[in-house]
A and B are shown apart, each in its own frame.
Chain A
Amino acid sequence: MEGKLKDNYKNEIKKYQPKPKVFLNCIRAFIVGGLICLLGEVITKMFIGYFGFTEKNAGNPTIATLVLLSTLLTGIGVYDKIGQYAGAGSAVPVTGFANSMASAAIEHRSEGLVLGVATNMFKLAGSVIVFGVVSAYIVGLIRYAYRVFF
């Protein structure tokens, strides 16, 4: 006589749980993520060619442009649909970072500009900045010490 489903529940229910379509999701992430980076390359070349930026500093206006684009797409209500389709393909590029800030800002407008928009803007993006800065400090200190002592 087989054991009951509730004994060893977490393992036994695996057969009822839908498996993520990993391969399909990866293809979509590859295509959309690749396209966003391709767009970034086009924009970078444009800034170098027409606006006199150098290869070194064209990254800045490129990112600012992608941020603007992402914010607009978030505002018109399209980015969440792209995100559901592309997964990491839209979350990993800097457009995902901008979407996390813009979506939080737009959502919390109903609580006012100070306590709503301004307070909540970094709700999702804050972790990126915090971990970025903390890891940069740690790696920076190690690099600095390496440089000084070796």
Chain B
Amino acid sequence: MDYMNAFIIGGLICVVGQLLLDVVKLTPAHLMSLFVVIGTVLDGFGLYDKLINVAGAGATVPITSFGHSLLHGAMAEAKDQGLIGIGMGMFSLTSAGISAAILFSFLASLIFKPKG
């Protein structure tokens, strides 16, 4: 059941993205930036956690979860440290993903040549 939910909800989020690309004619960069902001806003209303409970990876894998993680980390730290906590905690949950992307991209540039 978890697997089915992940597939369907993840797929639906991508369909929304595809419509924005084809019909609204956004560029990929605009689309991803919009989705990150949507993730942040949904988490602001406490809705994104509910989505993760239902969809599992169907909600954590799309780029929207990046916005959710940024806000989540910020709010968690703000609880302890006050206003300044927002900046302190912002990257705490996303650090693994971003660090991995930087490291692997760097290594890839050493190993692979572009194929065209």
Contact = CB atoms under 8 A, between A and B. Distances in A.
A140 B22 contact: no
A88 B21 contact: yes
Interface string A111-128: 001000110010011011
A26 B101 contact: no
A34 B11 contact: yes
Q: Say what secondary structure dominates the interface of chain B.
A: helix
Contacts of A66: 61
B66 A29 contact: no
B113 A106 contact: yes
A77 to B, nearest CB: 4
A71 B17 contact: no
12 contacts: A37-B58, A39-B57, A44-B56, A86-B14, A92-B63, A93-B14, A102-B104, A105-B109, A121-B102, A135-B36, A137-B87, A139-B43
Interface of B: 2-3, 6-23, 28-37, 39-41, 43-44, 55-58, 60-67, 69-71, 74-75, 78, 83, 86-87, 90, 93, 96-98, 100-102, 104-116
5 shortest interchain CB distances as A-B pairs: A37-B10, A33-B14, A34-B11, A88-B17, A40-B57
Given A37-B9, A142-B44, 12 more contacts: A22-B19, A44-B60, A67-B97, A92-B32, A93-B10, A102-B105, A102-B108, A106-B109, A136-B90, A137-B86, A139-B43, A144-B75
